[in-house]
């Protein structure tokens, strides 16, 4: 039984149902609506989460929710752990705790959102790894719970985001390859549902346009932000009649997969094909050759996102109204050995 099922039957929002069942904010709900919701809840034998009892005290929760996608690789990823470390440091400094929410892989989104509402022990939420089509955004807006989207850049009214400037970062990477003399520059992208992948694709094409290089979809592949995807994408590019002289991979993990595919074919990096990645994960500098990549301040993204959320929580408690925050942090190109390829035909 979920809050949303009760809300649908009562013709009200899930947030209204939560207020009624937890007996808070009575002035915001009419008596007729309150009685209707309670009657439907009884008829449906709804059992509230015991943790929600704390709401009756009207003391604001001293925690924020950290919502991350169900993914077996999340806790092995430097990328995610650095974001989480930054968020934890900021919330600790702000006197708040973090509660981790990882939706079950097969859990309906409605059920997950209802759980987050009914527990009642978070004052706001940080959403990490949110897709462009993720239903979390309208759900959190309906809850009227302060939230910040972390490491995604969504141009949506009222939605605060903290991310790196992926467009400029990708542009810098491809401009560097162009300065080295490359014109046939392949691109291994991430999934279409990722705003990071979208923005890095924009940066790739912008750099080509600036140099007067026509965009060629034949040398673009989707690597799904995974090493296996990068390796398979590179194998496909190596099967083309005319090889690319350089590759820009939309993250370092795919760049590593591409590098391994090139070596397996008996080619060398950078002498045959240059490679540039994105992220600057710790392994990048220890590869052979060391990977040229775009560094993004991942820890700082997590910290700034949590600081933004804490400010929103404070404003919501004081009933202040402020505009949504869109913060893009600077990236920088880290030049190492993998980008030095200059095939003879590049300058011919």
Q: How many helices (H) and strands (E) does the chain have?
A: 11, 12
245 belongs to a structural domain: yes
**Gyration radius of the chain's alpha carbons:** 24
Distance between CA atoms of residues 57 and 63, nearest Å: 16
Q: What is the DSSP letter of 11?
A: T
pLDDT at 168 over 80: yes
- Residue 48 inside a domain? The answer is yes
Tell me the per-residue pLDDT of 50-90, one tens digit each, with 9 for 90 and over.
344 444 444 556 788 888 876 646 666 787 889 989 999 99
Distance CA 274, CA 269 (A): 6
pLDDT above 70 (res 117)? no
Cα(49)–Cα(47) distance, integer angstroms: 7
In a domain, 93, yes or no: no
pLDDT digits (tens, 9 = 90+) for 283-334: 999 999 999 999 999 999 999 999 999 998 887 765 555 667 889 999 999 9
- The per-residue pLDDT for 319 is 55
What six digits make up the tokens of 281?
A: 């994960």
* Residue span of the structural domain in which 231 resides: 166-296+332-346
The span from the CA of 149 to the CA of 138, in Å, is 12
Residues of the chain with pLDDT > 90: what percent?
A: 49
Q: Does residue 318 belong to any structural domain of this protein?
A: no
Q: Is residue 248 part of a domain?
A: yes
Q: What is the pLDDT of residue 106?
A: 63
Residue 170 located in a structural domain: yes
What's the rounded Cα separation, in Å, for the pair 18 and 117? 7
| Domain match, 220 and 338 both | yes
CA dihedral 88, 199, 165, 79 (to 10 degrees): 30
Banded model confidence at residue 158, pLDDT cuts 50, 70, 90: confident
Judge whether 28 lies within some domain.
yes
Q: Which of 9, 39, 57 is the last residue of a domain?
A: 57
Kindly report the CATH number assigned to the domain that includes residue 252.
3.40.50.2300
pLDDT of residue 51: 40
Q: How many domains does the chain have?
A: 2
User: Which of residues 20, 35, 57 is at a domain's end?
Assistant: 57
Residue 206 located in a structural domain? yes
Which two three-digit tokens encode residue 123?
């004052």
Q: Which of 36, 57, 78 is the last residue of a domain?
A: 57
- Regarding whether 171 and 38 lie in a shared domain, the answer is no
């Amino acid at each position: 039984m979920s809050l949303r099922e009760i809300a649908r039957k009562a013709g009200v929002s899930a947030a209204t149902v939560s207020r009624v069942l937890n007996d808070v904010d009575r002035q915001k709900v009419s008596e007729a609506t309150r009685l209707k919701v309670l009657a439907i809840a009884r008829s449906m034998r709804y059992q509230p989460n015991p943790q929600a009892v704390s709401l009756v005290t009207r003391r604001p929760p001293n925690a924020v929710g950290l919502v991350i996608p169900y993914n077996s690789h999340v806790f092995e990823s430097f990328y995610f752990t650095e974001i989480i470390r930054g968020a934890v440091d900021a919330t600790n400094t702000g006197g708040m705790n973090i509660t981790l929410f990882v939706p079950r892989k097969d859990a309906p989104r409605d059920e997950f959102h209802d759980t987050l509402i009914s527990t009642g022990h978070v004052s706001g939420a940080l959403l990490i790894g949110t897709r462009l089509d993720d239903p979390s955004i309208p759900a959190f807006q309906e809850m009227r719970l302060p939230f910040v989207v972390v490491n995604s850049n969504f141009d949506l009214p009222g939605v605060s985001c903290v991310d790196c400037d992926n467009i400029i970062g990708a542009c810098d990477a491809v401009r560097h390859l162009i300065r080295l003399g490359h014109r046939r520059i392949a691109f291994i992208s991430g999934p279409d549902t990722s705003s990071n992948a979208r923005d890095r694709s924009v940066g790739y094409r912008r750099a080509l346009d600036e140099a007067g290089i026509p965009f060629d979809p034949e040398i673009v592949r989707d690597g799904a932000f995974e090493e296996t995807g990068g390796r398979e994408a590179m194998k496909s590019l190596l099967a083309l009649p005319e090889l690319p002289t350089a590759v820009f991979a939309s993250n370092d993990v795919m760049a590593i997969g591409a590098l391994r595919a090139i070596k397996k074919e008996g080619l060398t990096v950078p002498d045959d094909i240059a490679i540039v990645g994105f992220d600057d994960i710790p392994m990048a500098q220890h590869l052979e050759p060391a990977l040229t990549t775009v560094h993004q301040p991942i820890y700082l993204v997590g910290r700034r996102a949590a600081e933004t959320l804490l400010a929103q929580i404070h404003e919501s408690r004081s009933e202040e109204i402020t505009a949504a925050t869109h913060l893009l942090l600077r990236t920088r190109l880290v030049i190492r050995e993998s980008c030095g390829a200059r095939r003879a035909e590049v300058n011919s």
